[in-house]
Amino acid sequence: MNMKHRNKKIDFLLLTATKVFYFQGFHGTKMEHVAKEAGVSKGVLYFYFKNKEDLFMALIHYSLLKIHEYTLQILNAVKNQKANEQIVAFLNFYFKLIEDYPELQYPISEYISMSHPSRQVGCETGITSGMRESKYYEEVLLAQFLTTSLLVGLIEKGQKEGSILNQTDAKIIFANLWSMMLGYEKLSVADSYFKDIITESFSDFHIDRLLWQKNIIETIKNILNQTT
């Protein structure tokens, strides 16, 4: 099997796995579920990934690289704009990604949750030994800050050119931005869930998602323009 065919096959399996893990969760997913969805035998899946943990780490790595790739494309399309406008373009892109392709963000969000210190000792919901033994584990450690570094650098550029007035450490500004985006991703899933089982008693729970997105963008703009 040549490398081009191998990589194409791996991409197909990972693309399929994103959907299975998203709908069934890490603990609810089995290798046979992914194999069935992909239309291949379990043997084929095990040829490329030694176990579920290895597959999930490969999926996290795949998602990190895809989001970084898309971010580069978005920022390149608006490269002649000021840094603050490029950040808004990124935010609009990320909202669209969450709405249209939430399964791509799921492995990253789950990885962040699994990495929390409270889940590392005697907890079945943390990073497992199987994940740490995966050949993709080191790749994830290297890739997890690619998009972060890109956006922190963009914030620093805006601070220097004057399009971002807030002179707080760019990493802190990014942390504020990213926490709101992750919060939206987590809570929008809950909003969708409650909308599916809505009753009169829960009628006030639903939030207009477009207004929510607009409010987050305006909040982030205000953070970028803070002068004290």
Statement to judge: residues 198 and 102 lie in one domain: yes
Instruction: Domain of residue 39: give its range.
Output: 1-48
Do 98 and 85 share a domain, yes or no?
yes
Element (H, E) at 138: helix 137-143
> What pLDDT score was predicted for residue 112?
86
Do both 11 and 110 map to the same domain?
Answer: no
Instruction: Looking at the structure, tell me whether residues 94 and 203 fall in a common domain.
Output: yes
The pLDDT of residue 123: 53
Q: Are residues 95 and 21 in the same domain?
A: no
pLDDT value, residue 198: 52
Please state the domain count of the chain: 2
CA-nearest of 54, 50, 61, 63 to 22 is: 63
Please list the pLDDT of the chain residue by residue as tens digits (228 residues).
Answer: 577 778 889 999 999 999 999 999 898 999 999 999 999 999 999 999 999 999 999 999 999 999 999 999 999 999 999 999 999 999 999 999 988 888 888 898 888 888 876 655 555 567 888 899 999 999 999 999 999 999 999 999 999 999 999 999 999 999 999 999 988 888 776 555 445 555 555 556 667 888 999 999 999 999 999 986
In contact, 53 and 135? CB cutoff 8 Å: no
Contact 59, 14 (CB under 8 A): yes
CATH code assigned at 4: 1.10.10.60
7 with 87, same domain: the answer is no
Asked whether residue 21 falls in the same domain as residue 73, the answer is no
pLDDT at residue 10, rounded to an integer = 92
3-class SS at 199?
Answer: coil
Query: Is there a single domain that holds both residue 6 and residue 63?
Result: no
If asked whether residues 84 and 43 sit together in one domain, one would say no
Residue 155, domain CATH: 1.10.357
My answer on whether 24 and 116 are in the same domain is no
| pLDDT score of 193 | 47
